[in-house]
Amino acid sequence: MRAAGKRTDGPVSRLINRRFSGVVTSLLLRRWRPSPNKVTVATTLIGLLPIILYVNPSPVNAALAGVLVQAASILDGVDGEVARLTGRTSRYGALLDATLDRIVDVGVTGAASYAVVSGLGIGGLLAALLYILPVTGGLLVSYIHAQARLQLGSHPMLITGLTCWCSRDVRLFTIFLTSLLVPLLGWAALAAGLLYIGVSGYAYTLAQLILLYRVAGRDRSDSSRGGGV
């Protein structure tokens, strides 16, 4: 069952996550009808579990943490599916979900960066970049999506048509895949994944700002034209 997806789902959610989260949602609704907010809190706690493994860095722990990251990413869609299928969507539920997602994002990305810095034994500016770039890059993507909805009334992907290859599902899947590669290729694999998250996040944000500026410019131009009689 692919349940109650969203038009703004990222590619990993559309192709992978919804296939599994729909099954979980279906089982929950058959056996127990939990409130979406309770599901949000429960999946957040699961999403924080990889931190424990990353802050005790070893190649095996990195691989296990990656599996947990992807499992949590799949389960993250369940609360929204439950809300939409039961008609219990709410603004507060959306706010709670977005807030707790950011806590998981910062915690997991920061912990994965700590594992890389410890595993590679690096310090100084490079270590700082490995912490700051992926965390802020991911947050910028979420921020521009939220601000575009607030200021322009719609999701920027729907306004500009620019597909997001650094959305939350992609970021978590990147951490999952590159964490799995640590036992085979070393910590450089996870470092590459984190750098991709950071660089792609900044690049996507810049591209959206440029495109949204053009959209806003067209809107101003259209509104300035009077209707002739």
List, for residues 196-213, the tens digit of each pLDDT value: 999 999 999 999 999 999
How high is the pLDDT of residue 174? 98
Tens-place pLDDT, residues 129-151? 999 999 999 999 999 999 998 88
The full set of domain ranges for the chain reads: 11-220
Is residue 228's pLDDT more than 50? no
Q: Which of 114, 121, 150, 156 is nearest to 135 (CA)?
A: 114
First-last CA distance in the chain: 55
Q: Average pLDDT of 87-96?
A: 94
- Average pLDDT for the chain: 91
25 Cβ partners below 8 Å, 6+ apart?
1, 3, 4, 77, 78, 81, 82, 85
pLDDT for 173-202, tens place per residue? 999 999 999 999 999 999 999 999 999 999
Residue 104 CA to residue 106 CA, distance in Å, equals 6
Distance, CA of 3 to CA of 74 (rounded, Å) = 12
Is it true that domain 11-220 has CATH number 3.40.50.2300?
Answer: no
